[in-house]
Amino acid sequence: MIAFWLLALVLIASAVFTITARKPVYSVVGLLGNFVALAIMYLTLQAEFLAVIQIVVYSGAILILFVFVIALLSSGVKPFDVGPDRLPKVLVPAAIIGAIGLVTVVFSAVRVPSPAQPSVAAGTAGGLGLTGQADVFGSVANFGQQLFTVYLLPFEVTALLLMVAVVGVVLLAGDEEPARRRGKTRAQDREPIVKRQEPLIR
Amino acid sequence: MNPMNPSFFDVPIENYIALSAVIFFLGAVGVIVRRNPLIMLMSIELMFNAANLALITFAKAWVNAAGHIFAFLVITVAAAEAAIGLAIVVIVFRRSANVDVDEIATLHG
């Protein structure tokens, strides 16, 4: 119950931050917090596979795509300021903290015995289902069995959709080289690119 | 186990649905209010996530994996949508330095 209210607070706060942030980069950070909190909420709803997919696909792929596009669009506007070299100053503290972390990880990995495999009854009783049991609701095995038997047609349609998306993106933002090889540049039937005076991203 | 039994949920189902509605509303407000296409796309992602939360909540309430499958498909569609949308944003930005979607009329055809 406490976990729900905490997660709900994080979700709403990050959503508000996402839509109110002045720069898209800040929105991406807010969206990242939103996605991670949502993944944890999926875990509380016994959707283990979707929690992992949420992290991998949303936080991993889609947000990186957003970051890349923002970086691409704001490139060439201002020279990138590297800043002073701070490495000598932080070298000793960083080495100490890193060594402490390494020792902690190694120590705990050596000392704590790996937990025994939970029984099937423990998986069904409450909390998270067992990932390998096909008859446990929310387990990865259950999800996979359903996806590849009952819901096979939607799955195949999704594959087609993804292929159409890939072809569409390549056609939209792809190289101009094929057109040039046909003896005509696509730039000819384009308006000239406006010289940017101010940052594109606001 | 009766799925509709309120004690089945540690948290009542209404809370999850209300949270989903709030997030969806915030995403819709983002699309309506903001004029930066990137932030509008991110608000659309927020709405996708709110829909997924509702789907997964109902899947748990009825102990049925169909909600999970559908949420998975929604994530796939969201990925395709983000890729296509960002490609369009890139190509529009390449042609002009406009960041206001109200002033972009290139796609009118």
- CATH (domain of B20): 1.10.287.3510
Nearest CA in chain B to A56: B75
Nearest residue, CB atoms, A31 vs list B15, B34, B42: B42
Residue B96's closest chain A neighbor by CA?
A194
CA-based angle A19:B69:A142, to the nearest 5?
130
User: By C-alpha distance, which of B50, B51, B38, B2 is closest to A200?
Assistant: B38
pLDDT in tens, A25-44: 899 999 999 999 999 999 88
Cα–Cα distance, B74 to A158 (Å, whole number): 9
Residue A112 contacts B, CB cutoff 8 Å = no
Alpha-carbon span A73 to A24, nearest angstrom: 11
Listed range (A2-16, A64-78, A88-102, A154-168) with the worst mean pLDDT = A64-78
Q: Are A66 and A28 in contact (CB under 8 A)?
A: yes
Cβ contact (<8 Å) for A4 and B10?
A: yes
Q: Which domain holds residue B28?
A: 12-108
Residue B7 lies in a domain: no
Q: Which of A1, A62, A70 sits opposite B10 (nearest CB)?
A: A1
Identify the closest residue of chain B to A197 by CA–CA distance. B97
Chain-chain contact of B80 with A162 (C-beta, under 8 angstroms): yes
Chain B residues touching residue A15 (CB < 8 angstroms):
22-23, 26-27, 46
Are A7 and A37 in contact by the 8 Å Cβ rule? The answer is: yes
Let me know if residue B41 belongs to a domain: yes
pLDDT score at A134: 65
Residue B4 placed within a domain: no
The total domain count for chain B is 1
Q: Give B48→chain A minimum CA distance, Å.
A: 11
Record: contact A69-B89, CB cut-off 8 A: yes
- Distance (Å) of CA B65 to CA A56, A114, A144, B19: 20, 31, 10, 21
B45-100 pLDDT, tens per residue?
999 999 999 999 999 888 888 899 999 999 999 999 999 999 888 888 777 766 66
For A198, the 3-state DSSP assignment is coil
Judge whether B30 lies within some domain.
Answer: yes
Is there a contact between B39 and A21 if contact means CB atoms under 8 Å apart? Answer: yes
pLDDT at B94: 76
pLDDT digit string, tens, across residues A156-173: 999 999 999 999 988 887
Residues of chain B numbered 56-85 and touching chain A (CB < 8 Å): 56-57, 59-60, 63, 65-66, 68-69, 71-73, 75-80, 82-84
Q: Is a pLDDT exceeding 70 seen at residue A122? A: no
Averaged pLDDT of chain A: 78
- Whether B5 is covered by a domain: the verdict is no
The whole-number pLDDT of residue A178 equals: 53
Q: Structure pTM?
A: 0.72
Q: Residue A75 — pLDDT band, cuts 50, 70, 90? A: low
Mutate to test the interface with B, among A64, A69, A171 (most CBs of B within 10 A): A69
CA distance A166 to A133: 35
Helix spans in A112-198 (H): 120-125, 140-148, 152-173, 177-181
What does the pLDDT look like over A141-160, one tens digit per residue?
888 888 899 899 999 999 99
Length, in residues, of chain B: 109
A120 has pLDDT over 80: no
What distance in Å separates residue A116's CA from the closest CA in chain B?
27
B96 within 8 A of A191, measured Cβ to Cβ: yes
**Whether residue A116 has pLDDT greater than 50:** yes
Whether residue B32 is contained in a domain is answered as: yes
User: Would an 8 Å CB–CB cutoff place B87 in contact with chain A?
Assistant: yes
**How high is the pLDDT of residue B14?**
87
Q: Does B52 touch chain A (CB under 8 A)?
A: yes
pLDDT at B7: 40
Q: Tell me, what's the pLDDT at A22?
A: 85
B-chain residues near A6 (CB < 8 A): none
**What value does the mean pLDDT of chain B take?**
83
In a domain, B6, yes or no: no
Q: Is residue B22 part of a domain?
A: yes
Model pLDDT, residue A124: 46
Indicate if the pLDDT at residue A107 is higher than 80.
yes
Q: Is the pLDDT of residue B8 over 50?
A: no
Residues of A in contact with B11 (CB under 8 A): 1, 4
Question: Which residue's entry shows tokens 């706060």?
Answer: A13
Residue A128 has pLDDT above 80, yes or no: no
Amino acid at B82: A
